[in-house]
Structure 1
Amino acid sequence: MVAGKKTIIFDLDGTLIDSIEDIAVCMNKVLEKLNLPIYEIKDYKYFVGSGVDVLVENALKGSSQEIKNEVLKGFKKEYDQKLHTNTKPYEGIYELLDELKKLNYNLAVLSNKPHDFTVAYVDYLFKDYGFIEVHGQKKEIPRKPDPIGAINIATALNIPCEEIFFVGDTMVDMQTAKSAKMKAIGVLWGFRDEEELLTNGADFIVKHPLDILKVIHS
């Protein structure tokens, strides 16, 4: 029975898992094949967060739609071939999830990563933690910051949105939380900075995963 339980929804990339190196390597490989400029890993922190279409758009500003389509196709082929070995949970994430499991929290994921890959990474890296709602980008559901995905999770769990913590690392996550009337926790170990998170509605800022425990107990 999940109704009435305390609930946390996590973003995936930049929040639970550090995936930026693998994303950058795969995209740069595609760009190199097409003799297009490549980027440093740190640049990709500002390209991601809104799904693969926007990643390509950010990396190829000023390019033709034909080139963008070719890069998108190449990136999906390169990135979707397998789970990537450099992608791992951030330090402290497993310790946080251990504590949340002891506290009997509902755990959920809402990501703009394609749905199949979101499920695959959660199953691979977090299979012991009982995430009961795991959702990536789907054609039929608008991607974050549209709040419908978050609201659907709340509905499935029979938990009022106002009682749910939404944890993420970008303005997209903070906007999603606020639009869904959830409590927004912005994390500083991910892809963006404190100013962006606060400007976009973060109710709390945390520097380490275990700091989330202080927030939910406050």
Structure 2
Amino acid sequence: MSSEKEILIFDLDGTILDTIDDIHSSLMNTLRYFNFPTFDISITKQYVGDGIKKLVERAVGEDNFKDEHERHFRTVYKENLVNQTKPFTSILNVLERLKDRYIMAILSNKSFEMTDYLVKHFKLDNYFVRWYGGDSFVEKKPSPLPIYEIIKITRSKKDGYLIGDNYTDVESGNRAGLKTIFCRYGYGKLYGQQPDYFVDTPEELLNILI
């Protein structure tokens, strides 16, 4: 028996939480530890969105990448997950206004362990019925598979919205037949993907969703 409600699936980093400072400082720690050159946060913004392994691989260079680099980053980042990370201005008010109208879930490309910690730390479980990481399903965004699974698990309507700040979000949502909203206030790039809507602030989501 499916619910009468549509689903809203939100990305986490760059969409709900501003995580880039903690990611950047953990990445720079990793580069210094292994004697790689460091770089500006604007570069880190270009490298996030495809999960931790890809992030570290891009930072050290594909040919140089070793598993120990990724392990080091994960250890450091896990210890510094919430030093500077915070919800984007007004996003919690937006979620409060949406939570009774929709079934809401989070789909991150972060590990489930880190996603779960952040959701609970920032009390996002007040708004979301489920949350998932990049390792929660056999495939991750930009695959549509996690979305099909989430719709099945939550028994929501087969339509709704995918909200995120990266091409992986838009591609995943488009392929699964959801409407897609691209958050320009985040860090990601579209790389030719076409979302249905653009927003420059979290408040603008309400113009589309209410």
Q: Same fold (TM over 0.5)?
A: yes
Kept in 1, the 8 Å contact 2:22–2:81? The answer is: no
- What is the rounded CA distance, in whole Å, between the counterparts of 1:139 and 1:122 in structure 2? 15
Partner of 1:88: 86
- 1:168–1:213 Cα change, 3 Å: same
- The 8 Å contact of residues 189 and 207 in structure 1, kept in 2 or not, is answered as yes
Aligned: 1:74 with 2:72: yes
Counterpart code for 2:9: I
Q: Is contact 1:56-1:72 (8 Å) kept?
A: yes
Which stretch shifts more, 168-177 or 92-101? 92-101
Q: Deviations over 1:67-94 (max 9, x none)?
A: x322111101111125322011111201
Q: How many residues align?
A: 210
Following superposition, the deviation at residue 168 of structure 1 comes to: 0.2
- TM (norm. structure 2) is 0.93
Q: TM-score when scaled to structure 1?
A: 0.89
Q: CA deviation at 1:62?
A: 4.8
Residue identity in the other structure for 1:33: Y
Which residue identity does 2:82 align to in structure 1? Answer: H
Query: Distance between the aligned counterparts of 2:97 and 2:156, measured in 1?
Result: 21
Q: 2:201 aligns with which of 177, 196, 208?
A: 208
Provide Cα deviations, 1:81-113, integer angstroms capped at 9, x if missing partner: 253220111112011012113x43211100000
* Counterpart residue number, 1:176: 172
Percentage of matched positions with identical amino acids: 30
Helix, strand or coil: the match of 1:83?
coil
Is the 1:10–1:110 Cα contact (8 Å) retained in structure 2? yes
Tell me whether 1:146 sits opposite 2:143 in the alignment.
yes
Alpha carbons 1:14, 1:169 under 8 Å: kept: yes
Gaps of 5+ in 1: none
Cα distance per residue 1:105-137 (max 9 Å; x no partner): 211100000001101111111346231110002
Task: State the Cα deviation string for residues 45-65 of structure 1 (Å, max 9, x = none).
Answer: 111101011101111225334
Query: Equivalents in 2 of 1:126, 1:104: separation in Å?
Result: 19
User: 2:175 & 2:207 partners in 1: Cα distance?
Assistant: 24
Alignment of 1:34-183 (within 5 A): 34-65=34-65, 68-101=66-99, 103-127=100-124, 129-138=126-135, 140-161=137-158, 163-183=159-179
AA of the residue aligned to 2:199 = V
Q: Provide the C-alpha distance between the structure 1 equivalents of 2:16 and 2:129, rounded to a whole number of angstroms.
A: 16
**Equivalent residues in 2 for 1:13-24 (5 A)?**
13-24=13-24
In structure 2, what residue type is equivalent to 1:205? F
Q: 2-side partners of 1:156 and 1:35: how far apart?
A: 45
Asked if the contact 2:48–2:188 (Cα under 8 Å) also holds between the matched residues in 1, the reply is: no
Are the structure 2 counterparts of residues 132 and 22 from structure 1 closer, same or farther at C-alpha, using a change threshold of 3 Å? same
8 Å Cα contact 1:2/1:106 also seen in 2: no
The 1:128–1:75 alpha-carbon spacing in structure 2 relative to 1, beyond 3 Å, is: closer
RMSD: 1.9
- Note if contact 1:4-1:158 (Cα within 8 Å) is conserved in structure 2: no
Q: 1:170: how far off?
A: 0.7
The verdict on how the C-alpha distance between 1:56 and 1:207 changes in structure 2, with shifts beyond 3 A counting, is same
Residues 9-31 of structure 1, C-alpha deviation per residue, up to 9 Å, x if partnerless?
Answer: 10000100011110010010111
Q: Determine the C-alpha separation between the residues in 1 that align with 2:29 and 2:80.
A: 15
d(CA) in 2 for partners of 1:79, 1:158: 34
